[in-house]
Amino acid sequence: ETGVTQSPTHLIKTRGQQVTLRCSSQSGHNTVSWYQQALGQGPQFIFQYYREEENGRGNFPPRFSGLQFPNYSSELNVNALELDDSALYLCAIRGWNEQFFGPGTRLTVL
């Protein structure tokens, strides 16, 4: 059991604001990925961190940034929020040949 947790569960922000989403796990997996899942769509890869360094990125602008900490917890930061940023944000830790997903944070931008 990897026990991937995300906080907060739900979040409401207004356009132009900044938001920080958090992800942690009980296990010591050193690779974490973040995904954006818009309503009715599949998850879209945002970026991946390995040992505190970003080592892969999808087609997302620089206002999407992240951090990974020595304890392998991670943050996703989004600046200058836009209405289209409203989505479910998932983090996943990479185990052996699979990924374990957290329950997600539902972000609504008004």
Q: Is residue 97 within the footprint of another protein (CB under 8 A)?
A: yes
Q: Any idea what DSSP says for residue 26?
A: S
- CA distances (Å), origin 77, targets 27, 55, 56, 99, 100: 23, 17, 16, 21, 21
Number of residues that bind another protein (CB under 8 A): 21
Q: Is residue 3 within the footprint of another protein (CB under 8 A)?
A: no
DSSP H or E stretch at residue 8: none
Cβ distance to another protein smaller for residue 60 or 101:
101
Q: Is residue 108 within the footprint of another protein (CB under 8 A)?
A: no
- CA distances (Å), origin 57, targets 8, 45, 51: 23, 7, 15
Q: Is residue 10 within the footprint of another protein (CB under 8 A)?
A: no
The region of 16-24, 37-45, 61-69, 73-81 touching another protein under the rule CB under 8 A is 37-45
Name which position in 21, 81, 87, 92 contacts another protein (CB under 8 A).
92
